Amino acid sequence: MSAIDLHTHTTASDGTFTPTQLVEHAREKNLEAVAITDHDTTSGIDEAIAAGALLGLEVISGIELTTEWRGNDIHILGYGIDADSMILRDALLRLVAQRSVRNEAIAEKMRHNGIQIDVKSLAMRFPDAIIGRPHFARVLVEQGIAENISDAFFRFLGNGCAFYVPREHLSFQNAIGLIRASGGVAVIAHPLQYHFSDDILDALVAEGVSCGASGIEVHYTGYTMEQQERLSDYAQRYRLISTGGSDFHGANKPDIELAVGTGALHVPKRCLHALKSLIAAR
């Protein structure tokens, strides 16, 4: 029985598998299709598509944008986007530029506290990555200042901590518009990760729909059958397609395996079919 996974991360963002390695891994696991959805970048897509063509595995181009809605971080998945779209590239380049300003500010705070850190050498160590807090967290662990990555976030890099610097976000509305303008299909990612009440989640979905979102991620690592049914209800009520994926990050989320998540995940194949018809209609 072949499976699918519509939510994965590579070394182009914060995963540990290169795009080629991820596609090879998907092949070994007998997957039929995989979508690459790196955070705020499309830089892994071409390589993944080439690997998929070589191995006979379908690769869907994707992205996961971090957006802001009513003061919350909301993730939006974009599928079938044209990675060469100028409007998308401009927006992503702007995010990178904002990040480098922020990274310097984080490094400055760390140096102020006696920590040796240089953003340029960090960028040289992780040439394919968009440098962000996870990389600073690694340095804190390596220098023995934090015990592990979550400790680094809990004590130093998390919201309100000594080395925390907020970053600019796309608005939820603009992110959906951006995905559509670059030829993609917008899907609200892991809707239960925001811990909203029914009313607030309903407001989020309604606003997503009014901005042009077409889907909702119903099947996700750790979601119970009841939770998936609750999300299917939203899909039906708002005439959205259902999608699903594991949020695979390789060794950065070691409990999560492609397609099956922590073991119980199953993304129905109809999710792929529905997604592909929407992409084809764009």
Q: Which residues bind ligand AMP (CB under 6 A)?
A: 14, 39, 132-134, 149-150, 153, 158, 167
Asked if residue 14 binds Zn ion (CB under 5 A), the reply is: yes
Window of 11-19, 92-100, 117-125, 243-251 that interacts with Fe ion by CB under 5 A: 243-251
- Phi and psi at residue 80, in whole multiples of 5°? 75, 20
Binds 132, which of Fe ion, ligand AMP, Zn ion, none (CB < 5 to 8 A, cut-off by type)?
A: ligand AMP
* Cβ atoms 275, 79 nearer than 8 A: yes
User: 116 is written with which tokens?
Assistant: 């040796």
CB closer to Fe ion out of 64 and 257: 64
Footprint (CB under 5 A) of Fe ion, residues 165-194: none
Of residues 159 and 197, the one with the C-beta less far from ligand AMP: 159
Question: How many angstroms from the chain centroid is the CA of residue 20?
Answer: 18
Residue 247 interface partner, choices Fe ion, Zn ion, ligand AMP, none, CB cut-off 5-8 Å depending on type:
Fe ion
Size of the site for Fe ion (CB under 5 A): 3
- List, in sequence order, every residue forming a beta bridge with 186; answer none if it has no partner: 78
As a whole number of angstroms, the distance between CA 205 and CA 11 comes to 30
Question: With CB cut-offs between 5 and 8 Å by kind, which of ligand AMP, Zn ion, Fe ion, none does residue 133 bind?
Answer: ligand AMP
DSSP 158: S
Per-residue DSSP letter, 248: B
Give least dist CB 83 to Zn ion, A. 19
Q: Are 147 and 153 in contact (CB under 8 A)?
A: no
Pick the closer one to Fe ion by CB: 76 or 235: 76
8 A C-beta contact, residue 240 and residue 221: no
By C-beta, is 14 or 47 nearer to ligand AMP?
A: 14
Contacts of 21 (CB under 8 A, 6+ apart): 10
Cβ distance to Fe ion smaller for residue 5 or 64: 64
Comparing CA positions, the residue from 241, 252, 244 lying closest to residue 280 is 241
| Structure-block tokens of residue 174 | 């603009």
Rounded Cα distance between 157 and 236, Å, is 39
Contact 22, 248 (CB under 8 A): yes
Residue with tokens 């609200």: 188
The one of ligand AMP, Fe ion, Zn ion, none whose footprint includes residue 220, by CB under 5 to 8 A per kind, is: none
Q: What x-and-dash track marks residues 73-112 binding Fe ion by CB under 5 A? A: --x-------------------------------------
Query: Looking at beta carbons only, is 105 or 149 nearer to ligand AMP?
Result: 149
Residues that bind Fe ion (CB under 5 A): 64, 75, 247
Residues that bind Zn ion (CB under 5 A): 9, 14
